[in-house]
Amino acid sequence: MISTEEDPESKEAITECWLQKVVNHPELGNLSLIRVHIETGRMHQIRVHTADAGFPVLGDILYGHPRINRVLLEKVKLKNLFLHCWKYSFFDIFSEDVTSFEAPIPKHFNEILGIRESIASKK
């Protein structure tokens, strides 16, 4: 679990991370696929916390790894964050139930990482 609170004016930010898989990419080196759950919803929370923990989001020009992002852009033409919300849940005040939505992990994630099986099954 990652939690930061740097100054008295800052707000608490809590992020839980689980390592799902490590992939040895031929051009990018070792890449970690992680699952993240945020308890709070602060701006850039996932990006800041994963970068602080040594697992920056691929394609993140603000908090990410410059060399890896350059290779991603040149070789793979990835121009966005390698970040996907596969499940979103919230308490619906009208139905008084938890409502959840799931979206499959994009195929290009598996293709870029060279993973043959779907990473969606690693929940």
The top-level CATH class assigned to 2-122 is alpha beta
CA distance 88 to 98: 10
46 CB-contact burial (10 Å; exposed 0-12 / middle 13-18 / buried 19+)? buried
In three-state form (DSSP H/G/I as H, E/B as E, the rest C), the secondary structure along 26-92 is CCCEEEEEEEEEECCCCCCHHHHHHHHCCCCCCCCCCCCCHHHHHHHHHHHCCCCCCCCCCEEEEEE
Q: Does residue 121 register a pLDDT over 60?
A: no
Name which of 84, 15, 18, 21 is nearest 46 in CA terms. 15
Residues 6 or more apart whose CB falls under 8 angstroms from that of 28 comprise 68, 71, 72
pLDDT tens, residue by residue, 67-99: 888 888 888 787 889 999 989 999 999 999 999
Q: Does residue 110 register a pLDDT over 70?
A: yes
* Predicted pLDDT of residue 79: 80
**Summary mean pLDDT of the chain:** 84
14 CB-contact burial (10 Å; exposed 0-12 / middle 13-18 / buried 19+)? middle
Q: Does residue 5 register a pLDDT over 60?
A: no
Lowest mean pLDDT among 23-32, 34-43, 102-111, 112-121: 112-121
* Predicted pLDDT of residue 1: 56
pTM to 2 decimals? 0.75
CA distance 47 to 51: 6
